[in-house]
Structure formats: structure tokens, C-alpha cells
A and B are shown apart, each in its own frame.
Chain A
Amino acid sequence: MSARLGGLRVLLEVGVALLLGLALGAVLMALWGYDPWKAYQALFQGALGDRFGIANTLSRATPLILTGLTFAVGVRAGLFNIGAQGQMILGALVAVLIGGLLDLPPGLHLPVTVLGAMLAGALWSLPAAFLKLTRGVHEVISTIMLNWIAYWFTGYVVIAYLSQGRRSLQVDPTARFPLIMAGSDLSYALLLSVLLAGLVYWALWHHVAGYELRAAGLNPEAARYGGVRPNRSLVWAFLLGGLAAGGAGAVEVLGRLPFAITNDLSNLGTLGFDGIAVALVGRNHPLGILLSAVFFGALAAGRTMMGYRAGVPFDMIQIVQGVIILAIAAPEMWRIARLRPRRARTPAAAGPAGTGTEGTEGGEGGERERERRQA
């Protein structure tokens, strides 16, 4: 029944959850003696108060869209792919290598660098696909390990071969994304993210490969019965996710200071893992992810202002924002938890918020098939 939720109801649900989260955060702040009203005002002002705030929000959202897509595509194919972090890191490394070491003409340098980074991300998703298909290794295990390999390998390369002080060398200006708005760090990287979100949407809902991918995600047996090759769909899901995650690394390195990777990789942060939350809140749908990433971007953009204007300490800000995010993700998490016993094979695959199983023939066919089998 919940799978029949419409887009409006999803937004309503998110709205209510958001209000609850805000209220809970306000209570917390009030309990510790900070003015919640002032704090939220500062948050809003920092994130959406003027065009610079909005630019900051969108800039923060840019990489999150991409890593959100990685997780969502995985979920659609019945995977729990948490490898975005490692793929993003390797994408960033390749972006630094091509962007900083190769001399290419201005018009060519940026696209080549971005493409290289995306391919690196895709390449790094293949071991997980290979292990799953040939040895049945669960992707959660393999991607976690691949993440660490990427992390330490990149740290090693940065420190041993690319180091300039506390960061790697910077990418050439020709390989950087041009700014959309001066005085902010919003660059045309946003365009790349939105385009990729559109591409994923098109591939998943308007292309036969995407149809097969979703069918395989809902029920591989039924899909196979219907002539789909689930293994091929699975590889596609890994590759597509890897492309997006690699792009996230490129966007971060080519889109803003320090235009490099710091020795401890701290400027790449946990963009890959953040993508999981973004996808969850965005109900694993490219359009939902766009909105959700903007929401996360707004939280990040408004964070500093909460301290600067409202005097809320940083730890408290993190707690309050954590509460808000939890509240918003709660309905989806609850749904997944409730569905789990029925859908042992693909726990998160249902994307039941309606934005997911679009009611296309394939999705329903798959579901009917599964229900018949259970009956």
C-alpha cells in the first residue's frame, strides 16, 4: 500500500518529518540555553538568505547529487552499493593527475579530466561486481574493503609523489570548472551533476537497459524468466554508479579550493557516504536526489552562520542537524525495515515511496511475479 504513495504525499511526509526534526532540534538547543529561533534564522539566512547563500547551498549540493545517484542506482538494481566513497576518492586522484600533470589545450583539459575521473570511478566499481558475480561476495563487504584500499592508496600517492606542503599539487586553471557566480564557489560543476541525474533518470526509466536493471532489482528470478539477464544489469548498475561517484571526486577537486587533495584527504570528506543519506531522503529517485542534495547542501551552507550569528557551538550544530536528517530519513528507514522480511533478497530495492516504482509495466510485473511466487 505504501508503494502507492504519490509524489505529493511524499513531499507532505517529508515536510512533516522536517518540522518534527526542527522542533526536536529546537528543544535540544533551548535545553542547553541557545536561542533556537535565532539559530534557525541564521541557518536559513546562511543557506537561502541571499543569492550567495543559495549559491553556497547549490555548490555544496553538487557532489552530493552524484554520490546519491551511485547509491540509488545500486538500490534500483537490488544492490547495497556503498562503494561511492572509494570510487569518489579515486576519481579525485585521477582528476589531480590529469588536471595537474597533463598539459592540454584549455577547451579540452577540463572535459578530459572529468571523463578520466569518471572512468576511474567506474573502473573501481568493477572488482565488486566481479567478486559478486563469480564468488558471490556481498557488495557491502567488497565495497567497504575497496573503499579502504582507495583511501590508503590515494593518501600514499598524494604524499609520496604529489605533495606540496599539506596538499597535493593543484590542478591547472585550464582544468578547473569556471564559476557561475563570482564571489561564491558555485561552478559549472553543478551542470555536470544535474546532467548526470537526468541521464540516470533517462537510462532507468526510458531505456530498455534501465528497465531490465530495475526488473532485475525487484526480482532477479522473475526478470530472468522474462528474458532479462540480471548479471548484465548488475554490472551496469555498478558501472553507472562508479561513473557518478568518480564524477563527484572530479567535481570536488576541479570545482573549488584547494583544487587539490589534502595529505589526509580531508577535503574529500565523506562525500561518498553522505550520498547514502542523500539517496535515502531522495527516495532513490534522481529527481528526489536533486531536491534532497539541495536540502543537505542548505544544511551545510547554513551551518557556519549558526555559530557566527547565533553563537551556537559547532558540536551542538552537528547534533541538531543530525536530528533533522534522522527525522527526514526515518519514514523511509522504517518502511525498509518493515519490508525487509518480505523482501529478503533486496531490502532497500522497493523504493516504495512511489517516486521509485513508477507504476511502469516492468515494476508492477516484477512485483506481481514475486507475489505470485510467495503465494
Chain B
Amino acid sequence: MRSWRVLTLGVLTLAGLLGVWGLDAGQTAVGQAQGAICLYFDQTGPGDLSFNDMALLGAQRASEAFGLELRTATAAGEASYLPDLQTFARSGECLVIIGVGFLLFDALPEAARQFPDQKFAFIDGPSFDLPNLLGVLFREQEAGAPVGVVAALVALANGDSLIGAVAGAEIPPVWRYEAGYRFGAHWAVDWYNRHVGEGASIEVRVPYTGRFDDPALGKTTAEALIREGARNLLGIAGGTHLGMFDAVEEAARAEGREIGPPFAYGADAAQEYVKPGFILASGRKRVDVGAFEAVRRALSGEFGGDILLGLKEEGTGFSTVQDVKTFIDLAVQAGYPLDGTPAEVLHKVIQARISVPAYVWVALDEFQSALKAGEITLPEADTPEQIAEVRERYP
């Protein structure tokens, strides 16, 4: 008896659902003349003080510069990528839908194929030869390499022969970071042996955590590296390497130091302010420039294809003190709790930079100039084979 009542109710509910289905609300809203900037994050989302937050920053700048509304959404999981992108495209309210993160690798081109009249941009991914999809790629090698130079020289100055990095997932953008880091470290060893000492060598250890949103895992990974003797660590794991910063700070404080070593190095944003004194510098990947550029191109009409942002385009590089200042201001705006006043934080960041031998910065200058002049060619790392070769060649 009772089962029949439930059955009836179930059928009625389903019938109701199907009724709504038939209505179809006729939703093809035209939206404003130009439409909004629609920023779509994979599930790692903003709040990483790095990659995602910078995409948001660039989109905010574009929104102010061009007077466009900004809309953001974060994916609940992989299963929602395509339906979410379809929903945005169908709403007709987006000038451009910017997908942030390599994880959208399958869903973004599929959505672009289904909605040929909607402009999409893929931060960290290629255009797949689709005319309505703009690939925004970076030469991460050019961000990783200068950090590798500095990390290796600081390590050698402290008598270490091991440096490390806490990496995210095995994907091309992270590989390119790693490739640059390894190359830079080995370039620095040559430089050191020519100008400072003799017979020095460096080993680079880069464990992959597989995750971009797990600070606890980042911390344990970094602690293991520190135990193994790697006291200069680059973070290339998004939110995961925020835990690495904690590990480095704790290790330094355990030795009674207010300023490293050990030192951490940030990625993408100028992350020094997160742990002033313990983060020496950051590899810069200007995701904000990429997001801004995507909007600019969507407005200008020249859309599609891939844009590659590197040192020359100011899309990648090594964090300057000015960068650090900018990000301290941003952190204050975002309400991020700083370790002291902005001036104190900046002071401590500079103190850290002064604490290492001056020749480190001489070498960095030399490296950057040579890179800009095209005298140095960084290794490619777009495929598993290429990164395997890099790992073998620059151990």
C-alpha cells in the first residue's frame, strides 16, 4: 500500500520536472551590448595568493579599464566543467569566457566547439586551432630559470649541494617551471666555479605532489626535502606550496633565525610578503597580464590562436622589489593578515635579499641579460619525453 503512495508521489514529481522541461523559459538573453568578463576557475579557485588570484586581478583591471562587468564562478568538480561553461555560453551575457587552469583541458575546447559564436580564452592552455578559443601560454622556463640561479648560488654560499622544489601535478606548465629551475641551477654552478670557487656541484630534487590545493601535503613534502638537506625550495604547486612556506619558516625559526636560510621561493605572484624574510624571491608568471590581454583581444576583434607570454612581453620573470610592493598593497586590500605593517614587511623582504652574498645578484643580472639577448636558450618541456630529457641532463 504505502509503496504505491510513494510511487505515485515519485511519478508526480517527475511529471512536474518534465513539465518545467517543456517550458524552457526561452532563455537567450541578449545581455548588454558588450557583455561581461566571465572568469571560470577550476576547483582550486581563488584564494591561493598566486595563480588564480592573479587571473582575478587581471580580470579586475580589465573590468575597470574597459568598463565591463566581471563575473566569476568556481567549479564544484570535474563533472561540472562542461555544463557550467555551457550555461555561461548559453546565457549570452559573456563577452569572453576565460577558463583559468590547465584542468579545463578537455571541457574548454568542447564548449568552444559547441558555441562557435562565443569567445573563450584558456589561461595556461592552447587554442586547439579553434577560431573562437584564445590560448594564453607562458614561457614558465623564464620564471623558473632565474630562481634556479639564485637558489643554487645561495645554497652553494651556505655549503649545501642540494636544492629542491615542491611541484603540483605533472602538467606542461609545471614541467616548464621545473625545466627552467634545473637549467638555471646548473648554469649557476658553472658561473660559481668560474667566479667564486671550484668543484662545486648542485643536485635538484623536484617531488610532485599531484595537487594544487593541499597545503598540508605541501608542508610534509617540504619537510622531507629539508631533512634531506635541501634548504632552498621553489614552490610550483599553487595552494599546495603555501604549506611549503610554513615548513621553511618553521625550520628557520627552529634554528633561531628571523631571516633564512632555509629560504623558500614563490611562483606566479610575488609571494615574498606571505612569509617575509623566509621567502627570498619569486618566479613571476603574469597571469594577470594574460587575463587582461584575453579581454583586450576579445574587444579588439583579433581573436583566436595562441599568445605566448615570456620575458620580453613582461609575462614572466624574477620578482622585483616593486613587484613585492604591489603585492603587499594587494594583500592589504584583500584583507590578508600581514606579518607586521606593510613597511615592516617590505623592509624584511629587502633585509633577506641583502643577507645573501652580493655576487648572487651580479650573477642573476648576467643571466637575465643573456636570456633577454637570446644568448641563452632554455630547454623545452611540453611533453613527458622532453621533461625526462631535461631531468637527465640537469640532475
Query: Hey, which bits of chain A sit against chain B, CB under 8 A?
Result: 6-8, 10-11, 46, 48-54, 56, 58-60, 165-167, 183-185, 205, 252, 256-259, 262-264, 266-267, 269, 285, 287-288, 290-291, 294, 300-301, 303-305, 307-309, 311, 314, 354-355, 358-359
Contact = CB atoms under 8 A, between A and B. Distances in A.
B13 A291 contact: yes
B73 A304 contact: yes
B17 A304 contact: no
Given A304-B73, A359-B2, A263 B110 contact: no
Contacts of A6: 2, 5
Q: Which of B27, B84, B102, B106 has the most CB of A within 10 A?
A: B106
Given A183-B90, A183-B114, A304-B87, A165 B80 contact: no
B358 interface: no
13 contacts: A6-B2, A8-B9, A52-B86, A167-B106, A258-B78, A262-B78, A264-B169, A290-B10, A301-B80, A304-B80, A355-B2, A355-B3, A355-B6
B74 interface: yes
B80 A184 contact: no
B191 interface: no
B72 A303 contact: no
B3 A185 contact: no
B87 A46 contact: yes
Q: Which of B3, B6, B105, B106 has the most CB of A within 10 A?
A: B6
Contacts of A359: 1-2
B79 interface: yes
Nearest to B3: A358
Contacts of B103: 166, 262
B171 A165 contact: yes
Contacts, number: 139
B83 A56 contact: yes
A301 B83 contact: yes
A258 B104 CA distance: 10
Interface in B47-93: 71-84, 86-88, 90
Contact of A307 (B23, B73, B83): B73
Contacts of B325: none
A314 to B, nearest CB: 4
Q: Which of B7, B20, B171, B172 has the most CB of A within 10 A?
A: B20
Given A184-B86, A267-B79, 5 more contacts: A6-B5, A257-B81, A287-B3, A308-B88, A358-B2
Nearest to B42: A266
Contacts of B253: none
Contacts of A167: 106
Given A263-B169, A359-B2, A50 B106 contact: no
The 8 closest A-B pairs by CB, nearest first: A267-B78, A314-B74, A7-B6, A308-B73, A7-B5, A258-B106, A50-B25, A307-B73
B388 to A, nearest CB: 13
B262 to A, nearest CB: 28
A166 B73 contact: no
A11 B9 CA distance: 9
A54 B27 CA distance: 14
Q: Which of A301, A304, A311 has the most CB of B within 10 A?
A: A304
* Chain B residues touching A, majority SS: helix
B72 A307 contact: yes
A300 B5 contact: no
A92 to B, nearest CB: 12
Given A184-B86, A264-B169, A51 B1 contact: no
B76 A8 contact: no
B80 to A, nearest CB: 6
B17 to A, nearest CB: 6
Nearest to B22: A51
B210 A264 contact: yes
B24 interface: yes
A257 B107 contact: yes
Contacts of A184: 83, 86
A360 B3 CA distance: 10
Contacts of B10: 287, 290-291
A242 B58 CA distance: 48
Nearest to A315: B47
B6 A49 contact: no
A54 B72 CA distance: 22
Contacts of B13: 291, 294
Contacts of A56: 83, 87
A287 B87 CA distance: 30
Nearest to A307: B73
B383 to A, nearest CB: 9
B49 to A, nearest CB: 15
Nearest to B84: A304
A166 B173 CA distance: 12
Contacts of B25: 49-50
A52 B24 CA distance: 8
B315 interface: no
Contacts of A301: 80, 83
Given A6-B2, A304-B76, A304-B87, A54 B9 contact: no
Nearest to B110: A257
Nearest to B38: A308
A8 B1 CA distance: 12
B170 interface: yes
Nearest to A266: B78
B128 to A, nearest CB: 13
Contacts of B75: 304
Contact of B24 (A50, A264, A309, A355): A50
